[in-house]
Structure formats: structure tokens, C-alpha cells
Structure 1
């Protein structure tokens, strides 16, 4: 008998808004999502965390440097609001990130702990910022101190979007993977889920390709939402499409066809 490959399905952005939270909670109840990554910077986070605590899925810190405002006074002095991702990447690659990043990470970590009542089960980054130069050492140090796994962005598999996948790997992903290997930090063998978020993308076709490409123990990240879109969400239509598919019989059928079980 062929052994089933295991796949972690992690929903990102929990805490961003009511629609995102509703979608993630529904899919966790269905058993279609097996991990939840939490955005703790929005003011609504403590209330969102109360609903999340009822579930048994692993929950992680979705370290944020590009959405909304910093939590720590140390970083707010430099950034009243977080920069756009492209600006952040440029600053990181030129070694020009401001002081206060370590304090910001600790502030977001403590905000998670205060609301959930325990440390996170893993660490990753909103838009993969945890792997960037200047950010990566902070995350690695915290993961070692707390004994937590970190999302691997050093091996990002297809199908499609090869340029975007290579950018994620090159902007710190490969260096992150090397650091995790040398320090014995837990991580999945590969990451799948990179897409363009165009509402007309065939999400089922993408997932079927990711299921074929994913090695045993890989992680697939997703961004579902349910109901009226959250205000200002630029990928709301894509979120609705992910929600519809991940909650459908088609997803269950595709898992069976690919020989994959959710872990």
C-alpha cells in the first residue's frame, strides 16, 4: 500500500478582519485547515483570539511589518505606519532597517501570549517578512529560545509563479533555511501556496499542482474569508475563491487522488 504524504494547511492572517476570521474558523471546524497563523497588530486581535481559543489547531505568530501600525513605541518612532512590502524589502536588502525591530517582535509576541494565554506553536511572517535580512536573526533567536519551528521559505515549490517563488527564496528564504538547519530549528521541508491572487485564477488547478509537488510534511499556506469582505482588503475576491474550494467536496477528492492526508 502506498503511504500517504502528509500536508499541513495553514491559514494566514487570522485577526485581520471579521470575514477572514469567520472563514478560518469554519474551515478549522471542517478539518480542512490544520494550523492558524495570527496577525496580532490589529486592535481587534484580543477579541478575535477569544474565538480562536476554542479550537485545538496549532496557532502561530504571523509577525507583521507591512500591515497597519507597529505595536511597540520603539518602532513607532521610526514608522508611525508600517511600510509597503516593496519598501521594506529594499530597506532590508540595503541594511537600512530602523532600530526597534527586536522590540517590535517582542511586543507582538507578548500580545499573542496575553490574548491566547501561552506561547505560539510556531513563527512565520506576514508576506514572509520573517526571512528578510535584519529580521531573520531576531526570528531565529526567538525560535531557539522558545523551541519553536519557523516557516521555511527557502524551498518554495510550484506550479507557476516561478519568479515570485524565486524572489521569496532569494530575499532571505535560502539564508533562513540554512540557519534553521545549522541550529536545529524545526521547519517543513517545503512551502507551497504562492499565487498571484487574481480573482480569475483557477485555484483548484493550482492546489492540484501543489498537491503533486509537495513532499511529505510540506506546508501549504492559504488565505480564506467568508461573508462580506473586510474593508480595504485588496485580495478579498481571491479569499472568497479559496474559501469556496477548501470547504468543498472537490478539495477532499483532490486530496484522495493525490495521495495526501492533512496533518
Structure 2
């Protein structure tokens, strides 16, 4: 059997996202979830994670959705910029120095609400791998003894340009630095697509199950009961949920000889 961790991102973003993720945890269809603690509703949504296994809940470090937690960063960014702007500033060496403090604020908010440290760290839209962000994320992972999400190797199928961009935007450098520090990470990341609400998510999944090496991580974005208001990929989330909760997913795992495992 081939092992695969399945992580649902964006817990805390909205009620539909949270319902979907918790339902899939209950079904045993996902093995990890990544929490967005900057959302206004985090104080209400986060305590539910106290009932979830401590080893499956991670921090989804955010620089592109909503507002910063730290007052220092809010002086630079009253609201988080777009992903494109963050990437540009990262590669130009112009990211605010207050980002390290923002990371610690998000980490502390995770701990305050869940009552424990995260079991792993990743980034919304993979910002944890960017230049200027990597150093303090790597330091935190080493300090806490937890793995980081590997964005340096993204097997197919399809969406090759998007996969190569993610790898190039710090992913390969992140993997090299993790290896140098002896930090744990999955050998590859799968699940990249364009969030087209008409996409055949089952066909995509079958491709990922076939291409993922043993021990890989698959990331997903489910939501239950309809999209949350203002969610740009809400329709795609609902389609992901329908498949992940179905017997078709269980059948596909069995066909490809895949067993679900932790991060």
C-alpha cells in the first residue's frame, strides 16, 4: 500500500468550510486540517478543534486574506495585499520587517484558541516558502519540532505551469533548507489545479493518486452546504466535498492501493 496524507486547508474561513472539514475528519476521509487564524470568526470556530486529534491540526500562515493580527504589520499593510503583490515584494526584497512578528502573532492565536501548538505549519497560497518568509518559518518549525509543507516537488497531472511556479516561488529553496536542518516534510505535494467549478475532480484525484509517491501530501479545499459568502473558489469547494465524502473516493483509494496516513 502507498501512504498519502490528505490535508484540508482554510479551516476558520467560513461556516461552510468548517462544516465540511469537520465532517470529513469524522468520516476519516482527511487526515489533517490547516487553520486560518486571522479570520474574524476564529475565536468561535477554533475551539471545535480541541475535540480533534492534536496530531492533525496545523497553522495555515496567512499573508493574503483579510487583515494582519499584529499592529506593527497593520501600519504597513492595513489589509493583506494580493498574492501577486506579496510575491513581487518577496523577490524584490521589500517585504516588511514586521512579518516575523505577524507570524508569531498568528502562532500564538492558534495556541490561545486550540490550547496547543500546531502539529505542522504551511502557508495560505504557499507563502511560507517565499524569500523573506522562509527564515522565520523554518526557525519556528525547528523550535516546535514540526514538519513544514513541501512545495518544492509537485507531481502532475496537468497544470504544469502552475506547479512549476509554486516550486520556483521558494519551494525548491525551502526543501533544500529543510534538508539541511533535518526538518521533516512529505516527499511531494499533490492537488494543484485551477479551481474550475466545472472540473472533474474525481478524474483529477485519480491522476494525483497515480502520480503521488509514497508518503506524499494531498491538499484540498472542501466546504459543505453551499459556498460561504465572498469565497472566490466556493463552488469548487462544494464539488471537492461531494467527492471526498463519497464512496467513489474510497473506491479510488482502494483501486490505486493508497492508504491514508498522517502528515
TM range (shorter): over 0.9
Deviation at 1:244, TM superposition (A): 0.2
- The number of residue pairs the alignment matches comes to 260
- SS where residue 75 of structure 1 aligns? helix
Q: Deviations over 1:101-160 (max 9, x none)?
A: 000000000000000111100000000000000001110011111111000000011100
1:7 aligns with 2:7: no
2:90·2:131 contact (CA, 8 Å) conserved in 1?
yes
Q: Which residue of 2 aligns with 1:120?
A: 118
Match 1:136 to one of 124, 134, 137:
134
Match 2:97 to one of 96, 99, 111:
99
- SS where residue 261 of structure 1 aligns? strand
Q: Report the RMSD for the aligned CA atoms in angstroms.
A: 0.7
1:50 aligns with 2:47: yes
Q: Deviations over 1:61-100 (max 9, x none)?
A: 0000000000001100100000000111011111111120
2:19·2:223 contact (CA, 8 Å) conserved in 1?
yes
Alignment of 1:23-172 (within 5 A): 23-56=20-53, 58-172=56-170
Q: Which residue of 1 aligns with 2:225?
A: 227
Deviation at 1:214, TM superposition (A): 0.7
Q: Which residue of 2 aligns with 1:179?
A: 177
- SS where residue 53 of structure 1 aligns? helix
Structure 2, unaligned stretches of length 5 or more? none
Q: Which residue of 2 aligns with 1:258?
A: 256
Q: Which residue of 2 aligns with 1:16?
A: 13
| Structure 1 stretches of 4+ moved >3 Å | none
Structure 1, unaligned stretches of length 5 or more? none
